Amino acid sequence: MTDAARTTATISRLGHQGDGVADGPLFAPRTLPGEIVSGIAEVSRLTSIRIETPSEHRVQPPCRHYKSCGGCQLQHASDSFVADWKTDVVRNALSAQGLETEFRPIHTSPARSRRRATLAVRRTKKGAMAGFHGQASDVITEISDCQLLEPALMAAIPVAEALALAGASRKTPLAVTVTTSEAGLDMLVKNGKPLDGPLRIELAQLADRHRITRLTWDDEPVAMEQPPVQPFGTALVCPPPGAFLQATREGEAALLDGVLEITKGAKRIVDLFAGCGTFALPLAQAAEVHAVEGEREMVAALDAGWRKAKGLKKVTTETRDLFRNPLLPEDLNPFGAAFDAAVIDPPRAGAEAQVAQLAKARTRVIAYVSCNPVSFARDAKTLVAAGYSLDWVQAVDQFRWSAHTELVARFTLKD
């Protein structure tokens, strides 16, 4: 390859996926604003990148797997740069909707704090290998020294390889979702061989040998030594296999602190997209809560956790698709007894239909938790147009070194 075949570009900004963007647009992964880079232009993407003039924010990636692994996108940038960039992602999303507010300092989860990950695990001629796919690749990079995962999660790698030896085909890698729990490792395996009698026996023996607290194979329960419970406040909940869980304990705590502050003093709270009770059950230490969630199994787990806990106020539950069937003003003001506050934590699509009904119901205080600044800003515009004040936003970075940003925000109805 000659230098004449290479294109030189200046990176002007980062895109939403964390790639550098030059004029064209030309996307250059793992570059930073202000850098002069060269590479091979392939349609709108720059490959074989060489950093000609580095940014002052460029650092040595802390993980030795970073170059080949696709699990992280931003280890080449300083912590302060990433914190400012993620905050600006939220700020810019609001600005695009004509909104501005106070921004609290971002909360970033520490290294080695991810308690949940999905490993790609493949059988090989010599055994098995587990790790993450490379960037835009089906090649698996082994991650023996990952800087992202909790040590207990790292300990699951040889277990995942043993599962592949027992029940993976040579053609299709397993997707092994591993979650740490109070009782041990909770493992959900997808893309495995059909679960016949001999395989079920082998997997059950493997689970016992490796002390897997629960093993689920393509939605079929195989073994459960004891329930893999998660603490939500004073309650212990056993989520369904693969159920949503905040990525780090520190990130969950930061979001919960914001929710508790926003709803302080409320006597009756509605928790929308409640999951297994991440917010509903801690809130029940001081208020009655009505928790609404679309997945029936998650609702059942939340309710069971509440019933077994001591000292909590009343928690009622409802299984309801809040996208197609949002709670209406009459649901939010039953018999004239309005909820004092609402908590809403929707998926990435946001909660356009439900937010419109919250605005009509005039719910006085809303704690909005979001994993997508763009859909959050859209919903925030609806609330502000309906007479709410967006009091503050706090970004929460629990997907460290990724382009992903979460947040918690306070809305109050103006008098």
Positions marked catalytic: 371
293 among the known binding-site residues? yes
Phi first, then psi: give them for residue 403, nearest 5 degrees: -90, 5
Amino acid at 51: I
Contact 288, 308 (CB under 8 A): no
208 marked ligand binding residue: no
- Indicate the residue type of 267: K
- How far apart CA 90 and CA 60 sit, in angstroms, is 27
Q: Determine phi and psi for 143, rounding to 5 degrees.
A: -125, 65
The answer to whether the CB of 177 falls within 8 A of the CB of 242 is yes
Buried b (16+ CB within 10 A) or exposed e, 230-268: bebbebbbbbbbbbbbbbbbbbbebbbebbbebbeebeb
> Do the beta carbons of residue 285 and residue 233 sit within 8 Å?
yes
The answer to whether 132 is a known ligand-binding residue is no
- The DSSP string of 111-168 is TT-B-EEEEEEEE-SSSEEEEEEPTTSSPEEE-TT-SSB-HHHHTTHHHHHHHHHHH-
**Separation of alpha carbons 26 and 17, rounded Å:** 13
**Residue 246 annotated as lining a ligand binding site:** yes
Provide the annotated binding site for S-adenosyl-L-methionine.
246, 273, 293, 345
Provide the annotated binding site.
246, 273, 293, 345
